[in-house]
Amino acid sequence: MSTEIYYFSGTGNSLYVARELQKRIPETNLIPMVSLLDKDIIETSGETLGFVFPIHGMTVPIPVKKFIKKLHLKSAKYIFAIATRAATPHRAFIAIEKILKKNGKVLDSFFTLNMASNDPKFEDWHPATGEELAELESEVKNKLDSIQNIVLNKEKSREKDTNFTVPVNFVLERLVLLGMAFAEYDGAKDYFYSDSKCKGCGTCEKVCLSGKIKMVNKKPVWQENVKSYMCYACLNYCPAQAVQIKSKFYMNSYTEENERYPHPYATANDIAGQK
Ligand SMILES: Cc1cc2nc3c(=O)[nH]c(=O)nc-3n(C[C@H](O)[C@H](O)[C@H](O)COP(=O)(O)O)c2cc1C
Ligand code: SF4
């Protein structure tokens, strides 16, 4: 009757949710997706399976999609997914359902939790204040109480994940996929850089979930031949706020002006521990 929760988290929001669920559901193993991503086939052993991840570009992060595609789901009798997001509608559950369907499985339940944004590249962005965080945490905990019951009773609960009409959905999906492909490509070039505030501490390399960052002569180098998972852990955990985005995709990036957001209960070691 065991439960396996597979999670992916760049700045701790999804990790917090996974940990809270583990407290609420007996016999639950938390498994970081990143730790298994280099395998060709990933065997599950839980009867109940959960996926917890952030929304990236209005859909499932690329590494999460890759992870779910590799799953051998024989053990699974009940599958649920939880997306954490800042604000926008998304198409994550539609994307996951498509993958599961090919394996003859269904996504029984899915839920979206609103949490703090970890994306400082936008103008006038600020990290959530203490008050905002407390309000979000209380909403998340309330929602997790009902998710706990739904999962324990293996009920179906399928929230709407998008408010768009069918033609808008179709166009949006293609645009999002194109955007994600560009983001990955861009990430492989000079999307990130470190500025003169860099002290050479190596935290960015430590938290980099894709292994893209390597310290060379005490400076981080984003290697061109390694694709970024775009989790923004380097950006948000650098203690000197020295990691910046030089995006060609967005007209301007405001990371030099803006502060950063790591989840208050998630340390750099917690994020690095996913590898
Ligand atoms: C590259 C990137 C893209 C994002 N895209 C969206 C988005 O489309 N919609 C949204 O509501 N939040 C978006 N976010 C915000 C995250 O989904 C949100 O802050 C999430 O809870 C972070 O979870 P984590 O700390 O577990 O990584 C994005 C974050 C990043 C880093
Ligand atoms: S975490 Fe920041 S200060 Fe430390 S090496 Fe990376 S860019 Fe430099």
Model confidence pLDDT, tens digit, residues 76-93: 999 999 999 998 888 899
Question: For 258-274, what is each residue's pLDDT tens digit?
Answer: 999 999 999 999 999 99
The residues with which 31 forms a beta bridge, in sequence order, are: 6
Length of the chain: 275
The per-residue pLDDT for 82 is 97
The per-residue pLDDT for 227 is 86
The per-residue pLDDT for 191 is 82
Q: Is the confidence at residue 185, as pLDDT, over 70?
A: no
The per-residue pLDDT for 52 is 98
Note the Cα 29 to chain centre separation in Å: 18
The per-residue pLDDT for 173 is 65
Provide the 8-state DSSP code for 146: H
Q: By C-alpha distance, which of 264, 240, 243, 229 is closest to 9?
A: 229
The per-residue pLDDT for 253 is 85
Q: Which helix (H) or strand (E) holds 158?
A: strand 157-158
Q: Residue 246 — pLDDT band, cuts 50, 70, 90? A: confident
Residue found by looking up tokens 């604000």 in the block: 87
CA of 212 to the centre of ligand 2 (A): 14
Directed axis angle between helix 13-24 and helix 130-152, to 10°? 40
Q: Is the confidence at residue 209, as pLDDT, over 60?
A: yes
Domains and CATH numbers, the chain: 3-158 (3.40.50.360), 192-272 (3.30.70.20)
Q: Residue 167 — pLDDT band, cuts 50, 70, 90? A: low
d(CA 202, CA 190): 19
3-state SS, residue 178: helix
Mutation test of ligand 1: which of 117, 163, 263 has the most ligand atoms closer than 8 Å to its C-beta? 117
d(CA 242, CA 213): 14
Q: Do residues 136 and 86 touch, judged by C-beta distance below 8 A?
A: no
The residues with which 43 forms a beta bridge, in sequence order, are: 72
Q: By C-alpha distance, which of 144, 1, 15 is closest to 78?
A: 1
Question: For 22-32, what is each residue's pLDDT tens digit?
Answer: 999 999 999 99
Provide the whole-model pTM.
0.94
d(CA 15, CA 31): 10
d(CA 222, CA 219): 10
The rounded percent of the chain whose pLDDT value lies above 70 is 87
The type of residue at 80 is F
Is residue 9 within 6 Å of ligand 1 at its C-beta?
Answer: yes
The per-residue pLDDT for 179 is 64
Atom index in ligand 2 nearest the CA of residue 200 equals 5
What's the mean pLDDT in 242-268? 87
Mutation test of ligand 2: which of 11, 203, 217, 246 has the most ligand atoms closer than 8 Å to its C-beta? 203
**51 or 73, which is more confident:** 51
What's the mean pLDDT in 196-209? 98
State the ligand closest to the CA atom of 205: 2
d(CA 243, CA 249): 17
Is residue 232 within 6 Å of ligand 1 at its C-beta?
Answer: yes
The per-residue pLDDT for 188 is 52
d(CA 48, CA 3): 5
3-state SS, residue 29: strand
The per-residue pLDDT for 105 is 94
Provide the mean pLDDT of the chain: 91
